[in-house]
Amino acid sequence: MEKVQKECKELHSFLYLFDFENQMCYYHNRDSITIGRHNMKETYVFDYVNENEFHKLERSLKKYNMLAYKKLHFDFYPKLKEGNFLGKVVSTNKEKNTKSYELKLPTDSMFAKVHGEIKLHYVVYENEKTVMLDKLTPEDILSEGHQSELVTYKGVMVSKEHSDKDMFKINLLNMINK
């Protein structure tokens, strides 16, 4: 009888079947219906330049822009792990075989005009199969949002440090739009 290397694990009401011969992972629900499969060959691992700071920015993003957070976690992260790199290539390093990317997240147009687009910056290390998550920008408003509760003015987050400047921009943009 031919030996096939397979391993089963049950986690969170799903049955994971690992087929090491074909390097595939199958997801089954309790009724043995296949609900997904994942190619283990092409998976990339996430790493962080500064993990604590990155997670602070992520939590702030979750609090103040849930759409961008959901898109990041449920659409973009799985695609990055599969090797589908999104966004535009900012730079490449042929010696280290790396590419730096900048991915725009969904942003309210008024927020983008006042604070800038929300972007994920990451570097892909092809040889190590690693995606190094660098930062989320604009860092100043996101880090300030993590440290203290931000107020809004006409539906846009306002920085406590630059509140006059932000409110001036919002009023100016509203006058231009009228």
Q: How does pLDDT run across 108-124, given as a tens digit for each residue?
A: 887 778 778 889 999 99
What is the structure's pLDDT at 147?
65
What is the structure's pLDDT at 19?
54
**Residues 30 and 69 occupy one common structural domain:** no
C-alpha to C-alpha distance for 154 and 168, rounded to whole angstroms? 12
What is the structure's pLDDT at 13?
44
**Residues 111 and 25 occupy one common structural domain:** no
What is the structure's pLDDT at 174?
79
C-alpha to C-alpha distance for 22 and 43, rounded to whole angstroms? 14
Cβ–Cβ < 8 Å for 28, 34: yes
**Residues 33 and 54 occupy one common structural domain:** no
With respect to residue 1, please indicate whether it lies within any of the assigned structural domains: no
**Residues 52 and 123 occupy one common structural domain:** yes
Bin 12: left if φ > 0, else alpha if -120 < ψ < 50, else beta. Answer: left
**Residues 102 and 156 occupy one common structural domain:** yes
Report the pLDDT averaged over residues 144-171.
75
With respect to residue 145, please indicate whether it lies within any of the assigned structural domains: yes
| Average pLDDT score over the chain | 77
What is the structure's pLDDT at 100?
95
With respect to residue 26, please indicate whether it lies within any of the assigned structural domains: yes
**Residues 119 and 31 occupy one common structural domain:** no
**Residues 32 and 91 occupy one common structural domain:** no
Report the pLDDT averaged over residues 90-99.
92
Count of the separate structural domains present in the chain: 2
Which range marks the domain in which residue 12 is found? 6-39
**Residues 125 and 170 occupy one common structural domain:** yes
**Cβ atoms within 10 Å of 24's Cβ, excluding its own:** 14
Cα–Cα nearest to 7, from 33, 31, 35, 40: 40
